[in-house]
């Protein structure tokens, strides 16, 4: 009897142990280890990201520049991608079985349980064509997206483009996931957080055939996407299109600014490209073609190219020399300048010249001497040059302007250390670098900086930071764009310089650009180019009093400033201020001129 009792207790004990083991295992599976729960949920629930509509972009007059069109990405959850009719799917996608396998492998490397993009940017028509066959492709589903569209095919460098995020972006910003899109350049990049909106999530139930059966718990756990904010750009679309037409078949840039606000009216880089080329399924192929193009259409010359300012720099030299007391309105300098065996020559004009006539007739010797005298005022060349450089930096040269333009560069104004390295410390003097006085030598500026320089002259000594955005839906532009930035030169010194710039147009090197009924001020420049023909330059503002537009034009390898830069700038000013062109012959010649040699 005792032995039977013992056996009974042993059997009961065994059952208890087995029961406890099962209970522990069930507890582990249901509470601790969520793998099986995930498997179950992933088989019946799908978490679809709801992408917000990206904010629209308008020009300053309300013309729509960028809007959204529907598109669809084909997503895959690798763990569910079983018994797929891969032959038919490959046929629809236009890919080989090898490509299919490689993409699926990459998706598994990302996550077996989470969805990732398998193929992207299908049109609504292509999406509709395959919907009824989706039961053949378990684990695959479509996710709605939006693509940018540019109805006027203009301002590619200003607007920028949108592209897919990479691993570096994802690592830096947890908001973005694989397959997300982000602004890569232009306004799209600078105002990404405003334009992108906020993603949402929609949870749906699916059956074993991968068909949606409805919303999970009537959308209780869904979150709605919040659309991005619309932006009103500062660009005048009609002026932008007109400038692009004038600059077609030429290398160069046009930047125009409203002096009273710093709002950029045009930002043109030529050659350019149709922004619609970098949208949709052909984007990668088109980008590759553009990147290989020897004309460099992706390169934004307006903010990234560095050119010598040439004779347009003479106003800055005159202003700094006046501020330093080296020049006055009564000062006259001879039209000759010699350093050792080198002499700087000039074209015939009345001599000696004063500040006004030296600008009107663009006297090189005058400004070589004015530059050298400004630096020579101090005990050492290094001390004098540093004072001069500080003045020049206050005009926005050699520094970043802190605009809202992506990839803005600072140009180049050499520092003292640069010349110490080149000539030897204490072994150089002002005469060693006199070419800076006429905007040559090491100095480099961007067209944006030159347009801002024109705005400073228009305002008689100050500027607002140039910017591309005039307004934001339900918000305000950055306060930094509303602050005046003064140069280190007193306003009174601008009076003779502005008068001289007016004479340049009325009876000087830019007289071919005169506009009937619109008095304006300008200065031509011809920038030496070691790689070919000189660059044609012109900066201007109009009207002379109460200016509405300041402009800088660079036409590469086009010779004298008066040849191409002056007429192009003059036509742009006439178009903006009068909305008509009364010089059709000049307009026709500029539009039809091809300087690319093809």
pLDDT tens-digit map of 172-205: 998 998 878 899 999 999 999 999 999 888 887 7
Angle at 178 between CA 173 and CA 184, to 5 degrees: 65
334: tokens are 């001879």
- 117-131: average pLDDT: 88
What are the backbone angles phi and psi of residue 152, rounded to the nearest 5°? -105, -5
Nearest to 536 by CA among 313, 356, 307: 307
- Nearest alpha carbon to residue 556 among 526, 539, 535: 535
Phi, psi of 298 (to 5 degrees): -80, -15
Looking at every residue in the chain, the average pLDDT score rounds to 90
Percent of all residues in the chain with a pLDDT value above 70, rounded to a whole number: 93
First to last CA, the chain: 113
Confidence (pLDDT) at 35: 47
Distance of CA 400 to the CA centre of its chain: 14
Residue 422 has pLDDT above 90, yes or no: no
Could you give the C-alpha distances from 121 to 72, 145, 147, 265, 582, in angstroms and in order?
A: 5, 8, 8, 33, 47
The segment(s) of the chain belonging to CATH 3.90.1310.10 are 53-233
Is this prediction's pTM over 0.75? yes
Locus of tokens 């906020």: 198
Q: Is 83 exposed, middle or buried (0-12, 13-18, 19+ CB in 10 A)?
A: exposed
Strands 57-58 and 231-233: parallel
Helices 584-592 + 565-578 axis angle, to 10: 130
Residue-level pLDDT at 413: 96
Q: What is the pLDDT of residue 209?
A: 59
pLDDT of residue 47: 77
Banded model confidence at residue 266, pLDDT cuts 50, 70, 90 = very high
- Residues 451, 453, 454, 458, Cα dihedral to 10°: 140
237-289+299-592 belongs to CATH 3.40.50.300: no
Per-residue pLDDT of 358-411, as tens digits, reads 999 999 999 999 999 999 999 999 999 999 999 999 999 999 999 999 889 999
Res. 29: pLDDT tops 60 = no
pLDDT of residue 598: 56
Work out the burial of residue 73: count CB atoms within 10 Å of its CB; fewer than 13 is exposed, 13-18 middle, 19 or more buried. Answer: buried
Over residues 558-575, the mean pLDDT reads 95
| Structure confidence at residue 7 (pLDDT) | 67
Look at 180 and 515; give whichever has higher pLDDT.
515
Q: What homologous superfamily is domain 53-233 in, according to CATH?
A: Penicillin-binding protein 2a (Domain 2) (3.90.1310.10)
Contact at 8 Å (CB) between 577 and 548?
Answer: yes
Q: How confident is the model at residue 8 (pLDDT cuts 50, 70, 90)?
A: low
Sign of the torsion formed by the C-alpha atoms of 323, 325, 328 and 334: negative
Handedness of CA 387, 392, 394, 399 (dihedral sign): negative
> What's residue 284's pLDDT?
86
| Residue 178 pLDDT | 80
Segments of the chain assigned to CATH 3.40.710.10: 237-289+299-592
Q: What kind and span of H or E run contains 519?
A: none
Query: Going by C-beta distance under 8 Å and a sequence separation of 6 or more, which residues neighbour residue 490?
Result: 323, 461
Is the confidence at residue 40, as pLDDT, over 70?
no
For residue 131, name the pLDDT band (cuts at 50, 70, 90): confident
pLDDT value of residue 271: 96
Tens digits of per-residue pLDDT, 200-239? 888 877 776 556 667 777 777 888 889 999 999 999 999 9
Tokens of residue 170, six digits? 């994802």
pLDDT at 38: 43
Predicted pLDDT at 11: 73
Average pLDDT, integer, range 405-430: 92
């Amino acid at each position: 009897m005792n032995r039977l009792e013992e056996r009974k207790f042993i059997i009961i004990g065994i059952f208890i142990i087995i029961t406890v083991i099962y209970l522990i295992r069930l507890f582990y599976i249901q509470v601790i280890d969520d793998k099986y729960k995930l498997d179950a949920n992933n088989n019946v629930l799908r978490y679809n990201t709801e992408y917000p509509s990206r904010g629209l972009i308008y020009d300053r007059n309300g013309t729509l520049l960028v809007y959204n069109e529907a598109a669809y990405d084909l997503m895959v959850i690798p763990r569910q991608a079983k018994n797929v009719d891969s032959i038919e799917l490959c046929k629809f996608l236009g890919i080989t079985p090898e490509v299919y396998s490689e993409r699926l492998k990459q998706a598994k490397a990302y996550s077996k349980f989470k969805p990732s993009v398998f193929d992207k940017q299908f049109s609504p028509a292509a999406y509709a064509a395959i919907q009824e066959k989706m039961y053949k492709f378990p684990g695959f589903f479509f996710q709605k997206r939006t693509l940018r569209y540019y109805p006027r095919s203009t301002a590619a460098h200003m607007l920028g483009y949108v592209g897919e995020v990479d691993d570096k972006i994802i690592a830096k910003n947890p908001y973005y996931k694989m397959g997300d899109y982000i602004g890569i350049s232009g306004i799209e990049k600078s105002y990404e957080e405003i334009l992108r909106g906020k993603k949402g999530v929609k949870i749906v139930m699916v059956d074993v055939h991968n068909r949606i059966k409805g919303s999970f718990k009537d959308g209780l756990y869904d979150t709605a996407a919040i659309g991005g904010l619309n932006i009103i750009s500062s660009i005048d679309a009609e002026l932008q299109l007109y400038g692009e037409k004038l600059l077609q078949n030429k290398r160069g840039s046009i930047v125009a600014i409203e002096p009273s606000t710093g709002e950029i009216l045009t930002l043109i880089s030529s050659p350019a490209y149709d922004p619609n080329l970098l949208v949709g399924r052909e984007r990668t192929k088109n980008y590759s073609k553009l990147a290989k193009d020897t004309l460099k259409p992706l390169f934004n010359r307006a903010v990234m190219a560095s050119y010598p300012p040439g004779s347009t720099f003479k106003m800055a030299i005159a202003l700094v020399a006046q501020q330093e007391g080296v020049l006055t309105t009564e000062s006259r300098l001879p039209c000759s300048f010699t350093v050792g065996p080198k002499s700087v020559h000039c074209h015939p004009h009345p001599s000696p010249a004063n500040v006004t006539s030296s600008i009107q007739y663009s006297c090189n010797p005058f400004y070589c001497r004015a530059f050298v005298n400004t630096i020579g005022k101090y005990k050492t060349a290094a001390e004098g040059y540093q004072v001069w450089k500080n003045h020049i930096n206050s005009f926005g040269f050699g520094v970043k302007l802190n605009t809202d333009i992506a990839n803005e560069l600072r140009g180049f104004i050499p520092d003292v250390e640069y010349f110490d390295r080149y000539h030897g410390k204490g072994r150089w003097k002002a005469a060693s670098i006199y070419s800076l006085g006429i905007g040559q030598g090491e100095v480099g500026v961007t067209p944006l900086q030159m347009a801002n320089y024109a705005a400073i002259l228009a305002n008689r000594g100050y500027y607002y930071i140039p910017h591309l955005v005039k307004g934001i839906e339900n918000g305000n532009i950055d306060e930094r764009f509303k602050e005046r930035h003064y140069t280190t030169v007193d306003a009174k010194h601008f009076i003779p310089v502005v008068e001289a710039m007016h004479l340049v147009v009325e009876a000087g090197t830019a007289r071919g650009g005169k506009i009937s009924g619109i008095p304006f001020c300008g200065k031509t420049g011809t920038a030496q180019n070691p790689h070919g023909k000189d660059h044609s330059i012109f900066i201007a503002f109009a009207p002379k009093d109460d200016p509405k537009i300041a402009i800088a034009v660079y036409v590469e390898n086009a010779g004298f400033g008066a040849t191409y830069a002056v007429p192009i700038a003059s036509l742009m000013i006439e178009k903006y201020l009068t909305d008509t062109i009364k010089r059709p012959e000049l307009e026709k010649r500029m539009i039809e001129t091809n300087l690319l040699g093809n």
